[in-house]
């Protein structure tokens, strides 16, 4: 086929894909969404979406990368007009790297801080504590707000004042200077990423009431969670699978890795809620008063629970090492998508992989500095909402349409048969062509109706929302801009240009002969 490098061992590929798919969202988002949307009832839309969209698209990306042996942009030699979506997902992976590495840096900061006999977030009276800091050893006063929102516990103050220095910023317009402790942690994270990736893939695998007025929210929550959690659409699965051997059984890989990912989510749900239950009992409040999602869960509630255990230092070290490993391999996946995607497209980057990897790592480090300032949490919240929100769903929608409708499900199925000796069943073909795109369209539209951006009681100014949408649009606009560029750069009649745009590159000679299968109705009806 070609001299593209392949994975050293099959297990390296599987561990890399699982490592990318199983990330912090499994720990801090899934359990809370389950709880917020009616517990067990949430699993119905979750499992439904896993089967009709999550798994089919996961399988599609693995097969696409493996058959064409290209990164996220050049894989579109199968339908040149769609190459822009490759740049969309590469940009999204890059944007996510800007803030995701910062969360890993916090974990590293906590890991270093845990190496003491008494954990620093156990008591008040430290240099970072405010006069309002209160230690609750028993139950809370009756009139207090929910425990999770209480900003004056030692653990909450350690996170917001000791680590982030958030109290010295009045909002996103007042960032201040980067915190040197976090900058050092960020440098360590970026170095780990660089040394894991500079050689290429040989080195990377080693390291209840749910239909009510909130019905819509439950369904969109379930849909976006499946997506983020499996990681389709970041260009990572295409990049990883492009290094597989040609006849590798990626069907089995898709089923195995997506199952492992969801089982991990369930398992972490049990672990998280046993801790939340323990905290609720300790403070004499209901579970909903301690339940929270995101950074507050893993950097405030969990560390506080750990600090009350016997041998707390040991458990804190183990917990933060777990967060580090969960974060690092997902960050590696994102960066590999950028590097493979662009170096397959621009051969000069491929020849200078070490230098290009360094430039990418250093670039993400510079942007990430905005997120480690006093007001960095506001920048991080903005990026977290907009960098990979609507844009990632849009990217996968275009990808699904490009493969299933323009390239053709029948042709894609023949490619899979060439690799593995069997065609995908009717179920997969129907999902690829009709069910998944329809479902994605619904989720994209639902994600546009999101509320204003806020962090706790701070509501972001209008200009910040506009910057956020600007970030989201910058990646999405790659699709129409590249399509227009491609069309205008071709010569010939209007009909010929269209034909060249939507015909796979290896069949361009057929356009000259007037044999364009996309101009026949049979192509669009095939399944």
Q: Give the Cα separation of 310 and 502 in Å (integer).
A: 64
Give yes or no for a contact between 29 and 240, defined as CB atoms under 8 angstroms apart. Answer: no
126 annotated as a binding-site residue: no
Alpha helices, DSSP H, located in 22-78: 24-28, 30-36, 43-49, 55-68
Average pLDDT, the chain: 89
| Whether pLDDT at 252 is above 60 | yes
Q: How confident is the model at residue 342 (pLDDT cuts 50, 70, 90)?
A: very high
Per-residue pLDDT tens digits for 76-126: 999 999 999 999 999 999 999 999 999 999 999 999 999 998 999 999 999
Predicted pLDDT at 141: 59
Q: How confident is the model at residue 32 (pLDDT cuts 50, 70, 90)?
A: confident
Q: How confident is the model at residue 201 (pLDDT cuts 50, 70, 90)?
A: low
285 annotated as a binding-site residue: no
91 annotated as a binding-site residue: no
Which has more confidence, 32 or 427? 427
248 annotated as a binding-site residue: no
Pick the CATH number of 10-489 from 1.20.120, 2.60.300, 1.20.1740, 1.10.3470: 1.20.1740
Per-residue pLDDT tens digits for 474-496: 999 999 999 999 999 999 899 99
Q: How confident is the model at residue 173 (pLDDT cuts 50, 70, 90)?
A: very high
Domain boundaries, the chain: 10-489
Q: Give the Cα separation of 415 and 77 in Å (integer).
A: 14
Tell me the helix, strand and coil percentages in the chain, rounded to 5: 70, 0, 25
454 annotated as a binding-site residue: no
Among 181-195, 197-211, 278-292, 295-309, top mean pLDDT goes to 181-195
229 annotated as a binding-site residue: yes
| Whether pLDDT at 334 is above 80 | yes
268 annotated as a binding-site residue: no
Predicted pLDDT at 33: 84
Predicted pLDDT at 216: 67
Average pLDDT over residues 497-518: 91
Percent of the chain residues topping a pLDDT of 90: 62
- DSSP codes joined into one string, 438-484: HHHHHHHHHHHT----EETTEEPPHHHHHHHHHHHHHHHTHHHHHHH
Predicted pLDDT at 139: 65
| Whether pLDDT at 514 is above 70 | yes
Judged by DSSP in three states, 373 sits in strand
Per-residue pLDDT tens digits for 120-156: 999 999 999 999 998 877 666 555 557 777 888 999 9
Q: Indicate the burial class of 451 (C-beta count within 10 angstroms; 0-12, 13-18, 19 or more).
A: exposed
19 annotated as a binding-site residue: yes
Count the neighbouring beta carbons within 10 Å of the beta carbon of residue 180.
9
330 annotated as a binding-site residue: yes
| Whether pLDDT at 211 is above 50 | no
| Whether pLDDT at 1 is above 70 | no
Average pLDDT over residues 185-211: 74
Collect all residues with Cβ–Cβ distance below 8 Å to 77 and sequence separation of at least 6: 68, 70, 504, 505, 506
Confidence (pTM): 0.91
Percent of the chain residues topping a pLDDT of 70: 94
Q: How confident is the model at residue 215 (pLDDT cuts 50, 70, 90)?
A: low
């Amino acid at each position: 086929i070609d001299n593209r490098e392949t994975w050293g061992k099959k297990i390296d590929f599987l561990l890399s894909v699982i490592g990318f798919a199983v990330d912090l969202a499994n720990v801090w988002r899934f359990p809370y969404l389950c709880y917020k949307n009616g517990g067990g009832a949430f699993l119905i839309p979750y499992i439904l979406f896993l089967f009709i969209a999550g798994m089919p698209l996961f399988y599609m990306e693995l097969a696409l990368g493996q058959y064409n042996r290209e990164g996220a942009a050049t894989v579109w030699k199968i339908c040149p007009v769609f190459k822009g979506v490759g740049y969309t997902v590469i940009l999204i992976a890059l944007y996510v790297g800007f803030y995701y590495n910062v969360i890993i840096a916090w974990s590293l900061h906590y890991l270093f801080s845990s190496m003491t006999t008494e954990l620093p977030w156990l008591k008040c009276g430290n240099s970072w504590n405010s006069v309002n800091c209160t230690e609750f050893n028993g139950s809370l006063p009756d009139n207090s707000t929910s425990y999770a929102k209480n900003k004056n516990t030692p653990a909450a103050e350690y996170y917001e004042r000791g680590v982030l220095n958030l109290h010295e910023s009045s909002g996103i317009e007042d960032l201040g200077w980067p915190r040197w402790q976090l900058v050092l942690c960020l440098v360590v994270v970026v170095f780990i990423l660089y040394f894991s990736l500079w050689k290429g893939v040989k080195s990377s695998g080693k390291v209840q009431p749910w239909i009510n007025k909130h019905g819509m929210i439950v369904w969109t929550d379930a849909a976006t969670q499946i997506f983020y959690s499996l990681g389709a659409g970041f260009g990572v699965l295409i990049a990883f699978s492009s290094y597989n051997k040609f006849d590798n059984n990626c069907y089995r890989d898709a089923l195995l890795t997506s199952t492992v990912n969801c089982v991990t989510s369930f398992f972490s749900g049990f672990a998280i809620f046993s801790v939340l239950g323990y905290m609720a009992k300790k403070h004499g409040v209901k579970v909903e008063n301690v339940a929270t999602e995101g950074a507050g869960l893993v950097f405030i509630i969990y560390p506080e629970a750990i600090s009350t255990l016997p041998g707390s230092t040991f458990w804190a070290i183990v917990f933060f090492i777990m967060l580090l490993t969960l974060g690092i391999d997902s960050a590696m996946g994102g960066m590999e998508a950028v590097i493979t995607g662009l170096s397959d497209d621009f051969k000069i980057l491929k020849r200078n992989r070490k230098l290009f990897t360094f430039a990418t790592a250093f670039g993400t480090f510079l942007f990430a500095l905005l997120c480690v300032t006093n007001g960095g949490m506001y920048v991080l919240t903005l990026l977290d909402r907009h960098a990979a929100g609507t844009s990632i769903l849009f990217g996968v929608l275009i990808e699904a349409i490009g493969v299933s409708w323009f390239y053709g499900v029948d042709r894609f199925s023949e490619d899979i048969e060439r690799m593995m000796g069997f065609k995908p069943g009717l179920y997969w073909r129907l999902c690829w062509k009709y069910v998944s795109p329809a479902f994605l369209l619904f989720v994209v539209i639902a994600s546009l109706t999101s509320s204003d951006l806020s962090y706790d009681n701070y509501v972001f100014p209008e200009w910040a929302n506009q910057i956020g949408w600007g970030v989201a649009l910058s990646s999405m606009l790659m699709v129409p801009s590249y399509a227009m560029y491609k069309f205008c750069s071709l010569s010939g009649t209007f009909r010929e240009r269209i034909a060249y745009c939507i015909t796979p590159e290896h069949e361009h000679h057929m356009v000259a002969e007037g044999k364009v299968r996309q101009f026949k109705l049979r192509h669009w009806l095939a399944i």
